[in-house]
Amino acid sequence: MKAMLLSKYRHLEIADLPTPVPGPRELLVRVAACGICGSDVHGYDGSSGRRIPPIVMGHEAAGRIPSSVR
């Protein structure tokens, strides 16, 4: 899968990562869009201390759940 990775502070890159495998009582969501909020901005520059690289950015996502699991 493609992901926006904060590989170090102030450096974002598009990375190819293994597709996550959902655990029991979890779903894999195909993300269609993802917002960027203030905590992402402060995570990007390291000022909040809440994002430690390397980390996949984006926590306000919207997407679809495959019909086979609904």
CB of 35 to Zn ion, least distance (A): 7
- The piece of 6-14, 16-24, 31-39, 47-55 that touches Zn ion (CB under 5 A) is 31-39
Token pair for residue 51? 């994002």
Residue 12 touches Zn ion, criterion: CB under 5 A: no
d(CA 2, CA 23): 20
Residue 37 touches Zn ion, criterion: CB under 5 A: yes
d(CA 48, CA 32): 27
Using CB under 5 A as the criterion, which residues of the chain lie in contact with Zn ion when the complex forms?
37, 39
